[in-house]
A and B are shown apart, each in its own frame.
Chain A
Amino acid sequence: MPAFEYRQAEEIKQALRRHHVRYLFIGKSGAILLGFPDTTQDADLFVDRNPENGHALIESLRELGFDLTEQQASDVERGKDFIQLKNGPFDLDLVFAPDGIESFEDAWKRRIEVQDFPVCHIDDIIASKEAANRERDRESLPRLRAFRDYWMQKRNRNQS
């Protein structure tokens, strides 16, 4: 399978918007959208867990070309905490309860819009990686925290 592309990020955005799905880019893909220069393999979406949103998400995923069985669709609709999709045009991770973030509503209030991509605030991305506490996160966190300082200073300067 080829690497995830900008065009596919646009397709996610358009499809999820058409179906009014509430979600945020999170993880390294979220940080990259904010400007963090790094590499990753797949996109991670933090999705608001409620039946209506779950149903809309299924519609969007099928429209994007994900081949979901009824059982798989049910898992997505129910909002199991973590779902890996590799049965579509690109790899996608769905996270309904990321470590380190209290609630979707909290993250939604702090979200950043990057060219209409809804993205978790850098502090939430860092908090989720800190809470996950994996070896790969421990390696990437110092640079991500430095990016946070750079990004916040740049943002504050642009707002003043």
Chain B
Amino acid sequence: MAKNIPQEWLAEFEAAARRPLEVRLRYAFIRTYKPVMDDEKFRAFETMEDYRRWCEENLPRWLGYARV
């Protein structure tokens, strides 16, 4: 199966496939503080372009939200 997939990733996919959904979700969701992003309780953007621009202008670059 999936002979072009790197062995390490394949092993991870197969291990995940063996776990029940509840366990997968327990491992998947983590909580870390994201500066600026987590400082407001609610934000709404009229367009996706507005949102992307806001991310680029306000979030630290290292968070990775800037477009390439």
Contacts and interface: CB of A to CB of B under 8 A. Distances in A.
A37 B27 contact: yes
Interface in A57-86: 67-68, 72, 75-76, 80-86
Contacts of B46: 80-81
Contact of B28 (A39, A67, A136, A138): A39
B1 A153 contact: yes
Nearest to A80: B44
A56 interface: no
Given A33-B21, A133-B67, A40 B2 contact: no
Nearest to B13: A150
Contacts of A76: 44
Interface residues of B, number: 45
Interface stretch (A1-9, A16-24, A47-55, A102-110): A1-9
Contact of B30 (A41, A149, A157): A41
A69 B49 CA distance: 25
Contacts of A6: 21-22, 25-26
Interface residues of A, number: 52
B40 interface: yes
A6 B22 CA distance: 6
A153 B24 contact: no
Interface in B12-59: 12-13, 15-17, 21-22, 24-32, 34, 37-38, 40-48, 50-52, 55
Contacts of B29: 3-5, 29, 39-42
A99 interface: yes
A76 B40 CA distance: 16
Interface of B: 1-2, 4-6, 9-10, 12-13, 15-17, 21-22, 24-32, 34, 37-38, 40-48, 50-52, 55, 63-68
Given A41-B30, A83-B44, A143-B9, 5 more contacts: A9-B25, A40-B29, A135-B65, A135-B68, A154-B1
